[in-house]
Amino acid sequence: MVDVLDFLVNFLCQANTQSQCWEFINGYADPTQQLVFFLFFPTIFVIIFITELSNTISASKKLGVLFSLAIYMFIVFQGWYYIALTLSKMWFIAVIILVGFWVVLTKMGAGGGGGTRGGNGNTGRSLLDAAKKIAIKNTALNPYEIAQLRTEIERLEQAKNALEKQKKHASGERGMEEFDAKIAEIERELSDLRNRAPPGMK
């Protein structure tokens, strides 16, 4: 097991990051846990991250696979794999918490107050929304995702401002209602995006 870990550390922890990787590995006494937390969990985290990124950039599956492989090798050779060790652990904890909240609160919503109109059902949905926001806040965004988030927020704010200007010249009750509905929809999208934004980002 030591030989296997030594080989993996030498391959995955480039750019003089072997010491940080060994420090992470030595935090687990059991050799099986060392291998699982060093290789299995981070690899799943990196694969999911790379897949989402490649799907955003390219719709072609063949190019997506090539792009994913290139990103993975780039992460390794830049010495960023040790960063994925901590992030993957935090990410899985966030997922476990979110799933736990979802299971408990869904049962609360389904079991009380006569369906979705009952008081307990509404409370369950409110708590579930709050749990989702907490989980999203504690999920780290990479710089590319932050840039995309900022661009989308700016685009929606511009669209909202344009609609508000057009609304001033609208005539008739129906026309006003259509503008109000579109503006309300944009405000909901803006609220969801801002909830995802990191603390320092406006």
> CA 87, CA 90: separation in Å to the nearest integer?
5
pLDDT value for 108: 66
Distant-in-sequence, close-in-space partners of 66: CB < 8 Å, separation ≥ 6: none
Which of 30, 51, 38, 32 minimizes the C-alpha distance to 9?
Answer: 38
CA distances from 78 to 71, 90, 91 (A): 10, 22, 22
> CA 8, CA 30: separation in Å to the nearest integer?
17
Task: Name the pTM for this structure.
Answer: 0.45
> CA 156, CA 164: separation in Å to the nearest integer?
12
10-residue mean pLDDT series, the chain (202 residues): 85 91 89 90 86 76 83 90 83 72 69 45 52 50 68 83 81 75 84 70 54
pLDDT value for 19: 92
Q: Report DSSP letters for 35-76, one per residue.
A: HIIIIIHHHHHHHHHHHHHHHHH---HHHHHHHHHHHHHHHH
Q: Mapping DSSP to helix (H, G, I), strand (E, B) and coil, where does residue 129 land?
A: helix
pLDDT value for 68: 85
How far from each other are the two terminal CA atoms of the chain, in whole angstroms?
A: 48
> CA 153, CA 146: separation in Å to the nearest integer?
11
pLDDT value for 12: 92
Asked whether 27 and 38 are in contact (CB, 8 A), the reply is no
> CA 142, CA 153: separation in Å to the nearest integer?
17
